Amino acid sequence: MTRVLLGAAALFLLISLSFWLFASWWWANLFFAVLIGFAMQLGAGPSFLAGAGSSFLSWFISMYWINAGNGGLLLQKMRAVLGLPFGSDTGVMLFIALLGALLGGLGFLLGQLGRDIATGPVDGRSKRRRRGRKRSAATFKL
């Protein structure tokens, strides 16, 4: 559980910094999610939830901050361009945050699965990575 929270916190901080430094490049969310997902040793379910939760929170907070800074003009234009049926700014922010959550969760999962492909799956008992196949006693010749 602590690894999930640590991964989610790291992703949240990196996404928040990318919104501040890189002027809201959406692909920075995916890039950082893949990197942290590769670095953390989590299962498929916890990795998706950590990526989705931290990305949702980061995107929602950044959209709220941007909307408060420009008097709601950005969300009105996004609603008009995308043709969203939501009447409130909160609905548009939730929709965009859900898209960011999907992007972050899939990116985190992609990094975790890439690590499994590169180093082998995690052994359930010892939590160590195995390389190659296990050999049984019948494969050895005496």
Instruction: Render pLDDT for 26-84 as a digit per residue (tens, 0 to 9).
Output: 777 888 889 888 988 888 888 899 889 988 998 898 888 888 888 888 888 888 888 88
**Residue 125 above 70 pLDDT?**
no
Q: For residue 68, what pLDDT is reported?
A: 87
Q: For residue 80, what pLDDT is reported?
A: 85
Secondary structure (DSSP) of 77-110: HHHHHHT----SHHHHHHHHHHHHHHHHHHHHHH
Q: For residue 31, what pLDDT is reported?
A: 85
Tell me how far apart the alpha carbons of residues 123 and 127 are, in angstroms, rounded to a whole number.
Answer: 5
Secondary structure (DSSP) of 33-74: HHHHHHHS---HHHHHHHHHHHHHHHHHHHHHHHHHHTTTHH
Q: For residue 89, what pLDDT is reported?
A: 83
